[in-house]
Structure 1
Amino acid sequence: MTSSRLFEIIYILLEKKKVTAPELAERFEVSVRTIYRDIDALSSAGIPVYCTQGKGGGIGLLEDFVMDKSALTEEEQSQILLSLQCMAVTNHMDAKKLLSRLSSLFQKDDENWVYVDFSRWNPRGEKELFETLKEAILNREVVIFDYYNAKGEYSRREAEPMQLYFRGMDWYLTAFCKKSGEIRIFKLKRLKNLVKTEERFLRKDIRDMKTMPSLEEKKDMEVSVRAEKSLGFRVYDEFDPDWIREEKEAFYITFPCADEEWLYGWLLSFGPGLVVLGPKEVRSEMKRRLRLMAGQYEENI
Structure 2
Amino acid sequence: MPRKEGQKQKLLVLLEILIRETDEKHPLSVPQLVEKLNERGIEAERKSVYGDLNTLNNLPGTPFEIVQLRGRGGGYYMTETLFELAELKLLVDAVYASKFITARKSKTLIDKLGQFTSRYRQAELDRKVLVSGRIKSTDEKILYTVDALHAAITAGQQVQFKYCDWNLQKKMAPRHGGRIYQVSPWVLVWENGNYYLIAYTEGRLKHYRVDKMQGVRQLPDTVREGAEEYAAFDVNTYMQQMFGMFNGPLKKVTLQCENRFAGAMIDRFGTGPILSPCGDGEHFTITVPIQVSPQFFGWVAGFGPGVAVAGPPEVRAEMKRTLDSLQDLYR
Instruction: Give the structure-2-normalised TM-score.
Output: 0.50
Measure the CA separation in 1 of the matches of 2:136 and 2:197.
22
* Paired amino acid for 2:257: A
Measure the CA separation in 1 of the matches of 2:258 and 2:284.
9
Q: Spell out, residue by residue over 1:258-295, the C-alpha distance to the aligned partner (whole angstroms, 9 max, x if none).
A: 34313333223323332221111211212222232333
In structure 1, stretches of 5+ residues that fail to align are: 27-31, 52-59, 149-153
Q: Spell out, residue by residue over 1:103-162, the C-alpha distance to the aligned partner (whole angstroms, 9 max, x if none).
A: 68xxxx99x9xx9x783695233xx45x432233347797644269xxxxx767757999
* Paired amino acid for 1:266: W
* Paired amino acid for 2:18: L
* Paired amino acid for 1:284: A
Measure the CA separation in 2 of the matches of 1:63 and 1:222.
65
Secondary structure at 1:36's aligned position in 2?
A: coil
Contact conserved, 1:229 with 1:251, CA < 8 A, in 2?
yes
Find the counterpart in structure 1 of residue 49 from structure 2. Answer: 50
Q: Spell out, residue by residue over 1:145-188, the C-alpha distance to the aligned partner (whole angstroms, 9 max, x if none).
A: 4269xxxxx76775799975536x543233768x8699854346
Measure the CA separation in 1 of the matches of 2:58 and 2:229.
43
Find the counterpart in structure 2 of residue 134 from structure 1. Answer: 143
Find the counterpart in structure 2 of residue 36 from structure 1. Answer: 42
Query: 136, 154, 164: which is aligned to 1:146?
Result: 164
* Paired amino acid for 1:243: I
* Paired amino acid for 2:274: W
* Paired amino acid for 1:293: L
Offset at residue 63 of structure 1 (A): 6.8
Find the counterpart in structure 2 of residue 224 from structure 1. Answer: 254
Find the counterpart in structure 2 of residue 54 from structure 1. Answer: none
Instruction: Give the structure-1-normalised TM-score.
Output: 0.54
Q: How many residues align?
A: 247
Does residue 119 (structure 1) correspond to residue 119 (structure 2)? The answer is no
* Paired amino acid for 2:196: L
Q: 1:142 to 1:278 in 2, by over 3 A?
A: closer
Secondary structure at 1:50's aligned position in 2?
A: helix
Does residue 10 (structure 1) correspond to residue 15 (structure 2)? The answer is yes
- Matched residues, percent identical? 16
Secondary structure at 2:61's aligned position in 1?
A: coil
Secondary structure at 2:283's aligned position in 1?
A: strand
Offset at residue 49 of structure 1 (A): 5.3
Find the counterpart in structure 1 of residue 196 from structure 2. Answer: 173
Measure the CA separation in 2 of the matches of 1:172 and 1:166.
5
Contact conserved, 2:19 with 2:81, CA < 8 A, in 1?
no
Measure the CA separation in 1 of the matches of 2:190 and 2:48.
43
Q: 1:24 to 1:71 in 2, by over 3 A?
A: closer
Q: 1:87 to 1:225 in 2, by over 3 A?
A: same
* Paired amino acid for 2:197: T
Does residue 251 (structure 1) correspond to residue 283 (structure 2)? The answer is yes
Find the counterpart in structure 2 of residue 57 from structure 1. Answer: none
Measure the CA separation in 1 of the matches of 2:199 and 2:9.
36
In structure 2, stretches of 5+ residues that fail to align are: 1-5, 23-27, 64-79, 97-105, 152-158, 167-174, 242-249
Contact conserved, 2:256 with 2:286, CA < 8 A, in 1?
no
Find the counterpart in structure 1 of residue 57 from structure 2. Answer: 66
